[in-house]
Amino acid sequence: MATIEEALEVERLERDIFRGAATESQLTRTFGGQVAGRALVSAVRTVDSAYQVHSLHGYFLRPGNPEAPTIYQVERIRDGRSFCTRRVTGVQDGEAIFTMAASFHRGDVGPEHQDVMPVIEGPENLPDAKTTLSPERLWAMREWEHWDIRTVPQDQVARREGTVSPQQVWFRYRHPLPDDPMFHVCTLAYMSDMTLLGSSKVTHPGVPTQDASLDHAMWFLRPFRADEWLLYDQSSPSAGFGRALTGGRIWDREGNLVAAVVQEGLIRTPRQA
């Protein structure tokens, strides 16, 4: 399957127009993380390197065709002294499949604090997902074979009082990545869509649903590397009307809170023919 470098690569066609080629995939629709990651890469290439992305807000509008290229159109909404804003639209066959706003910041000095990382089992003591998935789910590890994903067993999850549907996942890219910090940010944007909606299913094991990402927001808080272990602390505070709200906080191995994610997804009962 495609490496993360291939999955995120876009070709510049015009000053603010980019194209992402089709990549090898087993999926019937384009992985949402790839669409978001390529949209962010496109936005990054229109911003001065003095600015670093600090947030993105995206909407998945239509299923993407993984066998077709996607065009990414970037709008330069604002270029300020401290912040820049870009809007990106992903297009296939003349129709928008994804739209995203991304904000970039030069960085300032101010008060600092963060929550404490959950105390849980380290990734070295957990099995690689490719050794534990059922035969019918092994396709997922073939699709994302370059990722080392280790889910914390439910009886070992660090639970916060009142949290009804928690899930915790260690992950990292298996191979060394370039040192460019923005590449790691775009890689995390790609990865952040993986496993998050699954937190909404923790409290409903075995219930069949049709699932899809609807909207996705991220905040990048501190530097990190995506080829080193990161803990994705996830939960789903609410589900109803065929939709689930999910959220996640991402920590590096040293306990630094590096990113936060909120997503709403479709988890509806399959429609009868």
From the candidates 148, 193, 233, 252, which is the catalytic residue?
Answer: 193
Q: Does residue 228 have a pLDDT over 70?
A: yes
Please answer whether residues 20 and 190 qualify as being in contact, where contact means their C-beta atoms are separated by less than 8 angstroms: no
The model's confidence at residue 87, banded by pLDDT at 50, 70 and 90, is: very high
pLDDT, residue 209, reads: 92
Task: Examine the residue annotation and report whether 193 is marked as an active-site residue of this protein.
Answer: yes
pLDDT at 33 over 80: yes
Query: What are the beta bridge partners of residue 245?
Result: 238, 264
Given 34, 165, 168, 263, the catalytic residue = 263
| Residue 197 and residue 216 in contact, taking contact as beta carbons nearer than 8 Å | no
Identify the pLDDT of residue 144: 87
- pLDDT value of residue 135: 61
Q: What sections of the chain are H helices per DSSP?
A: 4-8, 32-44, 138-143, 181-191
Q: What percent of the chain has pLDDT over 90?
A: 87
State how far the alpha carbon of 12 is from the alpha carbons of 27, 42, 43, 149, in Å: 26, 8, 11, 32
Residue 130: the pLDDT is 75
Q: pLDDT (tens digit, 9 = 90+) per residue, 130-171?
A: 777 666 566 677 888 899 999 999 999 999 888 999 999 999
> How many whole angstroms separate alpha carbon 132 and alpha carbon 148?
12
For the segment 233-250, the average pLDDT, to the nearest whole number, is 97
Residue 136 is predicted with a pLDDT of: 57
At residue 129, the pLDDT reads 81
Q: Is 213 a catalytic residue?
A: yes
Model pLDDT for residues 49-74, shown as the tens digit of each residue:
999 999 999 999 999 999 999 999 99
200, 213, 234, 236: the catalytic one is 213
Identify whether the C-beta of residue 90 lies closer than 8 Å to the C-beta of residue 64.
yes
Among the listed residues 60, 37, 20, the one whose alpha carbon sits nearest the alpha carbon of residue 192: 37
Q: Which tens digits make up the pLDDT trace of 169-180?
A: 999 999 999 999
134 is catalytic: no
Residues 181 and 23: their CA atoms lie apart, in Å, by 24
Specify whether the CB–CB gap between 162 and 238 falls below 8 A: no
